[in-house]
Amino acid sequence: MAAPSMNAMADKYANQDVGSIFLYTHEAHPGENYPHHTSMEQKLRQAQALQTELSVTRTIVADSLDGACHRRFGTMPNMTWIVNKAGTPLYKSDWTDSESVENALVYFLNVQERRRGKHRLAPFRVERLDYRTQDRDGFNEGLMRSGPKALREFNEAFE
Amino acid sequence: MSDPNLIQKYNYDEFTPAKVFHWLNFENSPKLGEKLPSFPLWHLDGSETSLEEIWQAHSLTIIEFGSFT
C-alpha cells in the first residue's frame, strides 16, 4: 500500500492547506519479514521500515496496538478518508485510489472557494461507485515484500 | 466488557478468512457529515498525538489507512 501517487498528491495540494497522513494499522498480510504486531515498539519499528522501504513522504502515525481507531473506521486494509478542520468526514472510500481521492479533493476545494465567494451551500449525500486499476502483479509483489507466507495465505484464502 | 484477547485477535498471525473477514465492517463506520470521534495516535518517535490534532491542522486532511501490504 502507500502508493507513490498518494505522496505526489499530498505534495501537489499542500500549499492549499491540505494535510495528508498515512495511518499505520496492523499488518494485513503478516509474513516472515513483517509479522503481526505483538508490541507497540515493534509496530513503530515496522512503520519506520515502511516509511523507508516504500518511500512514504507523508507523515506516518501509528494507531494503538489494539487498533482502536482503525476498528472504529471499519478496519478496511487500505481505505482513505477526507476530513475537514471541524472533524467532519466529507469522503470515505473502502479502498484507496488516488484518482478517486483527487477527484473528491478538487470538488471540496471548489466548495471552499464558493463559500469564500459568499455562495449559500447546503450539504447533501451522494453514493458513487468508483473504479480502480487492478494490478495483481504489483499486489503480489507487495505480498512478497512481507514474505512468501503472505502470498501463500492470500492465495489459499481465495482458492 | 472488552475482549482480553483483542490485541492478539486484531493483530492476527495469519491471513485466513476466519481470522480476517469478520473485522471488515465499513458499513458501520462513521457517517459522512457527522463529527468523528478522536483517537490517540503515535508519531514514529513514540510521541503521542491524536486524530483531532491532525484534522485541526489543515482545512482538509487526507487520511490513508494501511500497512506494508
Residues B52 and A81: beta-carbon distance below 8 Å: no
Chains A, B: CB pairs < 8 Å: 238
How confident is the model at residue A1, as a pLDDT?
A: 65
A-chain residues near B14 (CB < 8 A): 30, 149, 153
Question: What type of residue is A19?
Answer: G
Q: Note whether A88 contacts B34, CB cutoff 8 Å.
A: yes
Summarised one tens digit per residue, pLDDT across range A108-136 is 999 999 999 989 999 999 999 999 999 99
pTM for the model stands at 0.96
Q: Note whether A80 contacts B49, CB cutoff 8 Å.
A: no
Cα B30 to Cα A148: distance, rounded to the nearest angstrom: 35
List all residues of chain B from 6 to 25 with a beta carbon under 8 Å from chain A: 6-7, 10-17, 20, 23-25
Nearest Cα residue in chain A from B31: A89
C-alpha cell at A38: 505483538
How confident is the model at residue B2, as a pLDDT?
A: 76
E strands within B1-69?
Answer: 40-43, 48-50, 60-66
Summarised one tens digit per residue, pLDDT across range B12-58 is 999 999 999 999 999 999 999 999 999 999 999 999 999 999 999 99
The minimum CA-CA distance between B38 and chain A, rounded to whole Å, is: 8
A-chain residues near B44 (CB < 8 A): 44, 47-48, 51, 60-62
Rg (CA), chain A: 18
Instruction: Give the pLDDT band (50/70/90) at residue B1.
Output: low
Q: Note whether A75 contacts B23, CB cutoff 8 Å.
A: yes
Dihedrals φ, ψ of B25, to 5°?
A: -145, 50
Q: Which residues pair with A21 in a beta bridge?
A: A59, B63
| Strand duo B40-43 + B48-50: pairing | antiparallel
Q: Which percentage of chain A shows pLDDT scores above 70? A: 99
Question: What type of residue is A48?
Answer: Q
The minimum CA-CA distance between A62 and chain B, rounded to whole Å, is: 5
Instruction: Give the pLDDT band (50/70/90) at residue B5.
Output: very high
Predicted ipTM?
A: 0.96
3-class DSSP state for residue B65?
strand
Exposed (0-12), middle (13-18) or buried (19+): which is A11, by Cβ within 10 Å?
Answer: exposed
Low-confidence stretches of chain A (pLDDT beneath 50): none
Cα A5 to Cα A87: distance, rounded to the nearest angstrom: 25
